[in-house]
């Protein structure tokens, strides 16, 4: 796996809640707050990973982990650091960590117009498993359901 010089990939714990909430609020309108994250981080069913430059959180991925399935909630890279492979490196680290915990499938929902996210997921081996027409009320966009299988069935 490609490594970014000087950046650290690691699991997030309760102490990271405020940094995680700050970055999420920069990227998403419906962000969770630090208190909510503090309650989830540290629970076995919640898996969160981040990319750090020293103390600075540059990227994160949050997911629920249940019965061998990872349900990805959000993934984001702080805007100045996008397009450098950081998102892909973090996703591959997350999938590796999920597999280590026994996951065989990862699933997520993405807006059909989110080209950067679709590029990231395709380059990490996700494929389309479903479509929800007009799912997003604000834009009328479709939701694509994408999945990643540890042992794809051909
Ligand atoms: C989606 C996001 C996490 C991607 O992170 P990133 O670090 O910029 O992505 P990377 O540089 O690792 O690129 C990964 C792949 O996606 C592709 N990609 C990245 N940005 C792209 C864009 N704007 N258009 C098309 N493809 C793109 C890259 O070419 C790369 O593919 P490759 O490995 O085949 O070359 C980032 O754009 C982001 O934070 N977006 C806002 C939040 C968001 O929409 N999250 C997803 C929905 S929950």
Confidence of residue 151 (pLDDT cuts 50, 70, 90): low
The answer to whether residue 120 sits within a structural domain is: no
CATH of the domain at 38: 3.40.630.30
Long-range contacts of 41-44, Cβ-Cβ distance < 8 Å, separation of 24 or more: 41/12, 41/13, 41/14, 41/16, 41/17, 42/13, 42/14
The answer to whether residue 98 sits within a structural domain is: yes
For residues 19 and 15, what is the distance between their CA atoms, to the nearest angstrom? Answer: 9
Look-up of token digits 């991925």: 61
CA of 65 from ligand 1 middle (Å) equals 23
Does the predicted TM-score (pTM) go above 0.85?
Answer: yes
The answer to whether residue 137 sits within a structural domain is: no
The answer to whether residue 148 sits within a structural domain is: no
The answer to whether residue 133 sits within a structural domain is: no
Residue 115 Cβ contacting ligand 1 at under 6 Å: yes
22 pLDDT more than 50: yes
The answer to whether residue 71 sits within a structural domain is: yes
154 pLDDT more than 90: no
For 110, residues 6+ apart whose C-beta sits below 8 A from its C-beta are 117, 118, 121, 143, 144, 146
The answer to whether residue 125 sits within a structural domain is: no
The answer to whether residue 117 sits within a structural domain is: no
CA of 119 from ligand 1 middle (Å) equals 6
pLDDT in tens, 71-90: 999 999 999 999 999 999 99
pLDDT in tens, 97-141: 999 999 999 999 999 999 999 999 999 999 999 999 999 999 999
Range(s) of the domain holding residue 106: 8-111
Number of domains in the chain: 1
Strand 127-132 with 56-66, pairing: unpaired
What pLDDT is attached to residue 150?
86
């Amino acid at each position: 796996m490609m490594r970014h010089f000087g950046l650290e990939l690691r699991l997030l714990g309760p102490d990271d809640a405020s940094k995680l909430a700050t970055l999420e609020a920069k990227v998403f309108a419906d962000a969770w707050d630090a208190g909510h994250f503090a309650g989830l981080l540290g629970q076995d069913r919640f898996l969160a990973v981040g990319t750090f430059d020293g103390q600075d959180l540059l990227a994160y991925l949050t997911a629920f982990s249940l019965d061998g399935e990872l349900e990805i909630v959000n993934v984001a890279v702080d805007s100045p650091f996008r397009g450098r492979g950081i998102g892909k490196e973090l996703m591959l680290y997350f999938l590796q960590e999920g597999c280590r915990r026994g996951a065989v499938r990862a699933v997520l929902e993405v807006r059909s117009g989110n080209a950067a996210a679709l590029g990231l997921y395709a380059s990490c081996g996700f494929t389309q498993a479903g479509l929800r027409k007009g799912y997003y009320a604000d834009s009328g966009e479709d939701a694509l359901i994408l999945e990643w299988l540890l042992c794809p069935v051909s």
